[in-house]
Amino acid sequence: ASETPEHDVIVIGGGPGGYVAAIKAAQEGLKTACIEKRGALGGTCLNVGCIPSKSLLNNSHIYHQILHDVKNLEGVKLNLTQMMKAKETSVSGLTKGIEYLFKKNGVDYIKGTGTLTGENEIKVNPLDGGEAQTYRAKNIIIATGSEATPFPGLEIDEKRVVTSTGAIALTEVPKKMIVIGGGIIGLEMGSVWSRLGAEVTVVEYLGAIGGPGMDADMAKTMQKILSKQGMKFKLNTKVLGGDVNADDIKIKIEAAKGGKEEQLDADVVLVAIGRRPYTSGLGLENVGIETDERGRIVIDQEYRTKIPHIRVIGDVTFGAMLAHKAEEEGIAAVEYISKGHGHVNYGAIPSVMYTHPEAAWVGQTEQEVKATGKPYNIGSFPFSANSRAKTNLDTEGMVKFITDKETDRILGIHIIGPNAGEMIAEGVLALEYGASSEDIGRTSHAHPTLSEAFKEAAMAAYSKPIHA
Ligand code: FAD
Ligand code: NAI
């Protein structure tokens, strides 16, 4: 293997965590490289996650809305090939955008698989199959992300038994789809195919949908809304296994507590039971870096492994598996390197589920606040009483504030409603600033906007709303 000049920082992985870290490091004046093995920048999020799924969610929503809500249109037909092309156009435009940003900031983009071979040394097997190269770096940032957790006994072929990667690339609308796992991927991808005409049944082990972290009230409301849209739910239900036959797939289920076995059939099964850290081929064992029982690379508060100049960010370590969380960590990890201090407020990372309506939340759920024993207030306001939502004929959902009863400080905000993902930004800022519900209630919100529902829910927490 030949050797190259030393870098200040080498980032392994070009996803939202890694590419942001690389750009930030270059902006800080550090000689930086980013190693990525998939042949495109942007990681899971841009290539097979956030971006393609949101393209399909947006277009399937428009199709569904035209078909069901606009009554006087005839001859509306689905063009799935076109929908997939639109998705690919968004993805390729954005990956090229990151390549451009790398060039603009002077980040060396190394295409290949990086393996740690020493505390300051990475061997790269190039994508094009050329000779392996050895790179040396003063600092290394690992950002290798995550992969879908497989379901034991159900082999993924990404055509009929799929993870989200296959689910964003189906070539026909399945007649029947079973989704194993009622978390965010299950509900987003289940929504896409349900809107396009599939009969979707979600099988969830727990008693609520939405995955870990969703407020119980919100999960119940969301389930009602999605059920009305045609999705079916089997909660408290365990999948025992499945048989993939030539004509269909049979999935055996039973009540989580045990009971009578039942069988469901489908032509496509989506496995969406969570994601796990990805470290295969990374060579952690060569340098003695540890992972925990869930495969997450162990780090301290400054993202350092036990080799202090090797730091880790994003899905491959602790915390929420979200693109914006990985990005924040990318910037903070670089600032630790360049300035000696960095900052991420883990109490104010928003979550958004891009169904229709969207669900979005930040801070604590009501069940978490209740568990602390601290007295609290709830203020909520329904979109059915909001003038803009009524004008848009889009009135499902509500805004819910949870505040400290003594101080009125906001503890959590939970929204189900049109554009909840945009609206939650105001809540995140409020939490960052340590705001009270009265701070929001006394802030002027333009009329007629959906955000008036946000203000009125805040008013409901410390006083009374006007319009409900
Ligand atoms: P990744 O994006 O996984 O990037 C890691 C990269 O490292 C990969 O490109 C991989 O090829 C590369 N790599 C791994 N090992 C090596 C190696 N040894 N050498 C070189 N390269 C390597 N999050 C949101 O916030 N919003 C959403 O709407 C959203 N939607 C999602 C939808 C789906 C279907 C999925 C699956 C995920 C979604 N996520 C969403 C989660 C989001 O994609 C992840 O949280 C995010 O991508 C994590 O970023 P990361 O940089 O840690 O890792
Ligand atoms: P998830 O953790 O959100 O949900 C998995 C669900 O599967 C949980 O409800 C869990 O109880 C259930 N489950 C686990 N094992 C099961 C079993 N054997 N049988 C039935 N149900 C089972 O994971 P998901 O949906 O796979 O998504 C992975 C991650 O990707 C998310 O946690 C999120 O961080 C990220 N993501 C974020 C999105 C967003 O921000 N909009 C969109 C998609 C993914």
For ligand 1, the distance from its centroid to the CA atom of residue 327, given in whole angstroms, is: 11
pLDDT-derived band at 412 (thresholds 50, 70, 90) equals very high
What is the model's pLDDT at position 347?
97
For the Cβ of 44 lying below 6 angstroms from any atom of ligand 1, the answer is yes
Q: Is 230 exposed, middle or buried (0-12, 13-18, 19+ CB in 10 A)?
A: middle
Residue in 251, 273, 322 to alter for ligand 2 test, most ligand atoms within 8 A of Cβ: 273
Per annotation, catalytic residue among 309, 341, 414, 447: 447
pLDDT-derived band at 285 (thresholds 50, 70, 90) equals very high
pLDDT at 289 over 60: yes
User: Sheet holding 410-417: strands in order across?
Assistant: 351-353, 358-363, 410-417, 398-404, 376-382
Examine the residue annotation and report whether 61 is marked as an active-site residue of this protein.
no
Identify which ligand lies nearest to the alpha carbon of 314: 1
For the Cβ of 113 lying below 6 angstroms from any atom of ligand 1, the answer is yes
Nearest CA to ligand 1 atom 22: 13
What is the model's pLDDT at position 2?
55
For the Cβ of 162 lying below 6 angstroms from any atom of ligand 1, the answer is no
For the Cβ of 276 lying below 6 angstroms from any atom of ligand 2, the answer is no
pLDDT at 327 over 70: yes
pLDDT at 74 over 90: no
Whole-number average pLDDT of the chain: 97
Q: Is residue 337 left, alpha or beta, with left meaning phi > 0 and alpha meaning psi from -120 to 50? A: alpha
Sequence ranges of the binding site: 54, 114, 144-146, 181-188, 204, 274, 315, 321-324
What is the model's pLDDT at position 338?
98
Q: What is the pLDDT of residues 133-180, one digit of tens each?
A: 999 999 999 999 999 999 999 999 999 999 999 999 999 999 999 999
* Cβ atoms of residues 431 and 440 within 8 Å: no
Six-digit token string for 139:
């600092």
What is the model's pLDDT at position 455?
98
Residue in 154, 185, 325, 353 to alter for ligand 2 test, most ligand atoms within 8 A of Cβ: 185
For ligand 1, the distance from its centroid to the CA atom of residue 331, given in whole angstroms, is: 16
pLDDT at 243 over 90: yes
Phi then psi for residue 160, to 5 deg, are -115, -35
Q: Is 8 exposed, middle or buried (0-12, 13-18, 19+ CB in 10 A)?
A: middle
pLDDT at 1 over 70: no
For the Cβ of 456 lying below 6 angstroms from any atom of ligand 2, the answer is no
For the Cβ of 359 lying below 6 angstroms from any atom of ligand 1, the answer is no
d(CA 377, CA 274): 33
pLDDT-derived band at 76 (thresholds 50, 70, 90) equals confident
User: How many CB atoms neighbour CB 221 within 10 A?
Assistant: 20
- Neighbouring C-alpha atoms within 13 Å toward the C-beta of 280: 5
For ligand 1, the distance from its centroid to the CA atom of residue 373, given in whole angstroms, is: 37
pLDDT at 334 over 70: yes
For the Cβ of 180 lying below 6 angstroms from any atom of ligand 2, the answer is yes
Does the pTM surpass 0.95? The reply is yes
Asked if the peptide bond before residue 357 counts as cis, ω within 30 degrees of 0, the response is yes
Counting residues of the chain whose pLDDT is more than 70, the rounded percentage is 99
Q: What is the pLDDT of residues 337-360, one digit of tens each?
A: 999 999 999 999 999 999 999 999
d(CA 11, CA 19): 8
Residue in 53, 184, 422 to alter for ligand 2 test, most ligand atoms within 8 A of Cβ: 184
CA 77 and chain centroid, separation: 30
For ligand 1, the distance from its centroid to the CA atom of residue 115, given in whole angstroms, is: 18
pLDDT at 194 over 60: yes
As a three-state string, the secondary structure of the chain is CEECCCEEEEEECCCHHHHHHHHHHHHCCCCEEEEECCCCCCHHHHHHCHHHHHHHHHHHHHHHHHHHCCCCCCCCCCCHHHHHHHHHHHHHHHHHHHHHHHHHHCCEEEEEEEEEEECCEEEEEECCCCCCEEEEEEEEEECCCEEECCCCCCCCCCCCEECHHHHCCCCCCCCEEEEECCCHHHHHHHHHHHHCCCEEEEECCCCCCCCCCCCHHHHHHHHHHHHHCCCEEECCEEEEEEEECCCCEEEEEEECCCCCCEEEEECEEEECCCEEECCCCCCHHHHCCCECCCCCECCCCCCECCCCCEEECHHHCCCCCCHHHHHHHHHHHHHHHHCCCCCCCHHHCCEEECCCCEEEEEECCHHHHHHHCCCEEEEEEEHHHCHHHHHCCCCCCEEEEEEECCCCEEEEEEEEECCHHHHHHHHHHHHHCCCEHHHHHCCCCCCCCCHHHHHHHHHHHHCCCCCC
* Cβ atoms of residues 174 and 266 within 8 Å: yes
What is the model's pLDDT at position 212?
82
What is the model's pLDDT at position 94?
98
pLDDT at 71 over 80: no
